[in-house]
């Protein structure tokens, strides 16, 4: 969802799901695997999500599906448009 929101993509393709799966898999270390983890640890959820979103956003720009101009730094676009909840203390 982050990449779709950030790029204002016109549609979601099956290929984007493959890119997302590859981006998740890239983040699983040998140490994670040795502990029986097949996904990145939950303690890294924000960074993992941003990494996946950046990869998908790049795919969206590559396929010409974005309604916003391609920036020099796709990751910065994703990070700038990511929702960050703020809780009252």
pTM beyond cutoff 0.85: yes
Ordered by start, the domain boundaries in the chain are: 2-81
Q: Could you give the CA distance from residue 18 to residue 1 in angstroms, rounded to a whole number? A: 15
3 state DSSP class of 17: helix
pLDDT tens figures, 7-42: 999 999 999 999 999 999 999 999 999 999 999 999
Structure tokens at 14: 């099956």
Position 15 scores a pLDDT of: 97
Question: Token digits for 75?
Answer: 């990751």
């Amino acid at each position: 969802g982050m990449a779709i929101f950030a790029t204002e993509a016109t549609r979601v393709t099956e290929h984007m799901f493959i890119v997302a799966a590859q981006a998740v898999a890239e983040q699983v270390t040998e140490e994670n695997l040795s502990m029986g983890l097949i996904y990145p640890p939950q303690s890294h959820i924000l960074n993992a999500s941003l990494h996946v979103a950046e990869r998908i956003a790049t795919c969206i720009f590559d396929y010409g599906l974005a309604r916003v101009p391609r920036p020099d730094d796709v990751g910065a676009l994703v990070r700038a448009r990511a929702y960050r909840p703020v809780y009252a203390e």
